[in-house]
Structure 1
Amino acid sequence: MTYRVCFVCTGNICRSPMAESVFRARVAEAGLHDLIEVDSAGTDGWHEGEGADPRTVAVLEEHGYAAEHTARRFQVSWFARLDLVVALDSGHLRALRRLAPTEQDAAKVRLLRSYDPTADAHDLDVPDPYYGGMDGFDECLEMVEAASTGLLAAVREQVEGRAA
């Protein structure tokens, strides 16, 4: 049975496609691509149908990650098929939990940086790099990579628990 993860930011052109690409690479490196499906979306539909921000693409490609992406908006109906919804900041976390049709669905929503043991527990947001320069995109990638290791460990545990 496939374990489904969806990363969510605001417009689905910067942070969530970056997290999707990095996590998909981690899943492939771990040999789990047949068991884990990785996706992303935005809380808003401003950029639906567009590609990722060129700065996101540049940072991903510079670090050897795939950068193909088409933005879309998160749909409430997806909660039924998703196992984990990963919010990139606390605003997304609140918005997604409000959208969740059930308490069980709301419990599926977690902050990405909550999986990074070195992150400040009082500041788990991945800052939106959209209005800044390239350094913000580099910082975003560093945060995403740091959290992806812990996220993979947590998801692997869930996947292996299902198989047992």
Structure 2
Amino acid sequence: MKSLCTATILIPNTSKLPICHYFPNLSLKSSPLLRYSADPSHTHTGKSRIPERIKASSMAATPSTASSDRSQTPKPFSVLFVCLGNICRSPAAEGVFRHLVKQKNLDSIFYIDSAGTINYHEGNPADSRMRAASKRRGIEITSISRPIRPSDFREFDLIIAMDRQNREDILEAFERWRHREAFPVDADKKVELMCSYCKRHDETEVPDPYYGGQQGFEKVLDLLEDACESLLDKIVAKGRQV
């Protein structure tokens, strides 16, 4: 991502699925948290938007729902899943992990959410194709897209990025905010890659399925189910839920 984007952004991945989000004349690496002018075919409104930087103050002022249930003891173990637009991969990861947690009757001791490194889709539900693919596996996706915000670094125990570019953008946002935010000293160490938890797959990143057809959405869910099972087992094994 060292040059300006003039075509569909491609993030390396072993599954060779296409990557979504067409943002002309913008560099994600230098400006991961922007409001983008996008291809109308990839919006819910069909209208393009003029790029403008998200004001940090407006993001910081948005209260996180993660704090609403923190007064109880023990404190829930919190996990935030992050991708680019928060409409495909991270909402699916949130849904898969929430489903596994519910199956093990651990709902009350986990807080689970998802976010994106951009706010272009803010307020929108997850992609209908991803919701349909998940539903066929008995997994409901009900989240609404939102961008990552400074409070997430304080409130979440783990922040899981879907690919390396997502992780880099998250860490760049952390560095940009840390001079004015009361972050824990090791907050940046909370950021991990989703596929680092995979046991049955060799992929190192979760590919964006937007232009990958039905096969792309199924592949993403296969990876997420593998990684989320391992992630939950690791958390429980360490007694982190107590």
Normalised by the length of structure 1, the TM-score is: 0.91
- The residue number in structure 2 matching 1:30 is 104
Q: Does 1:70 align with 2:144?
A: yes
1:112-150 per-residue CA deviation (whole Å, 9 max, x = no partner) reads 111112333xx4110000122111001000000011111
Correspondent of 2:194 among 90, 112, 132: 112
* Alpha carbons 2:77, 2:240 under 8 Å: kept: no
Correspondent of 2:205 among 117, 125, 149: 125
Which has the larger helix fraction?
A: 1
* Alpha carbons 2:77, 2:110 under 8 Å: kept: yes
Deviation at 1:161? 4.4
User: How many residues are aligned here?
Assistant: 160
Structure 1 stretches lacking a partner, 5+ long: none
Q: Which has the larger radius of gyration?
A: 2
- The residue number in structure 1 matching 2:118 is 44
Q: Does 1:148 align with 2:228?
A: yes
Secondary structure, aligned partner of 1:6: strand
- 1-structure distance, mates of 2:143, 2:205: 23
RMSD of equivalent CA atoms: 1.5
1:28 maps to amino acid: K
1:58-93 per-residue CA deviation (whole Å, 9 max, x = no partner) reads 101111111222111111221111100000001111
Normalised by the length of structure 2, the TM-score is: 0.63
2:223 maps to amino acid: M
- 2-structure distance, mates of 1:23, 1:161: 16
